[in-house]
Structure 1
Amino acid sequence: MKKHITKLFAMAIILGTGYMAQAQSSDEVKTIFKNTKGSGGYVVLSNKLTSIHGSFANMPEIYGGWFIGKKFLLGVGGGSTTNYIPVDINDSANPSQRMSYLYGQFGMVNELVIASNSPIHPVFHLFNGAGFTMQYHRPRWEDLDNQHYREDVEDLKWYYICEPALQVELNLLKWLRVSPGISYRFAFDNEKRSLDDKVSGPSVSLGLKFGKF
């Protein structure tokens, strides 16, 4: 019996020694966070259609960051409206001029990508950050030559913005993806500490994603 135990013990030592030698000869570095092995990154150029103060708003955006383990984006981004958004005469900071709202936002962007290697797959998107509205004099084209024209900014207001979204991502090339999506913007007024329904609202978007996926 003792001989059998001695033989088994000797075999265990030999196998263990061989395993340790093989592990030490390997060039691969073992890490705790194994899911970062397939990490990359990408940048997104997006255009969003939404509404601000009850009027149509066109809003280009850009965001990007570190794509961890082909599953999770940790990044930053921002965007702002580009078109004329009329200010009601009763809310205008300067009723004698043609005033327009400008809305912008910037902050942290996260995306959870499900089955990233599949040709078509869902993406859960979340924006958290700061937003603002302001009024500015937006003249008509024929007024741009007026040498007395000044683009004064007035009535600046700040908000906390939380905007979850759902996208459908299509893999066009290894480095290029397209992602139509829908979202809802929750805007909390910093002064009133409440949800602002004039800035909050739904959006539809279309984005082009460039990078290492």
Structure 2
Amino acid sequence: MLRLAVTFVLAAVLTGCSAKEPGTPSAGNQTGGTPTAGTSAGTAPVNRPKAVDLKTLDPCSLITAETKATLGLRIVEPGNPLPEYGEGSKRCNLTYEDRKYIANIHTLVNGGVDRLKQTTGEAKLTSLQIAGYPAYLTQRDSPGSAGACEVYIDANDGQLLLVDGVAGFGDSSATVDGACERAKALANAAGAALATK
């Protein structure tokens, strides 16, 4: 009888050791190579063409000579990163030939989609796909301009690539809708380049 009880206890212990809990890594789900899916929200997998660590990315490197010509960009140069985007974030400033709009590409390294939804408000975000990446669009006021449009690309767990377009300062023909068109086109080009990094 004692031998039978020990067998049941041992079986129970072994079963407990092999049980998987959601979100807990196990030997069965390890993969090699570059991850293409992750969990920004910590629950559901995120499908991305490629997860890229934005701490090592120069955002200006996402703008090729072809992209610059196609989108009518005049200047593409590094800018000062914003402290609220985390230690190690980077910024690229862009201006257009027509000078009606400006744009920026920021790497946000201190929080992903969950943080974005909390700080911006989920109701103000429109979901979209940018070059195969999940992304979110929102509009905001921009002092001295007609407004700004922001596209957040879910590039990696806990990290976002922000592409914004700002309607020209003092140019009455520049609109928020125009800023969104520019931001989306720029985000698509940057997202396609991101997937090759």
TM superposition score category, shorter chain reference: 0.3 to 0.5
Larger radius of gyration: 1
The structure carrying a bigger strand percent of its residues is: 1
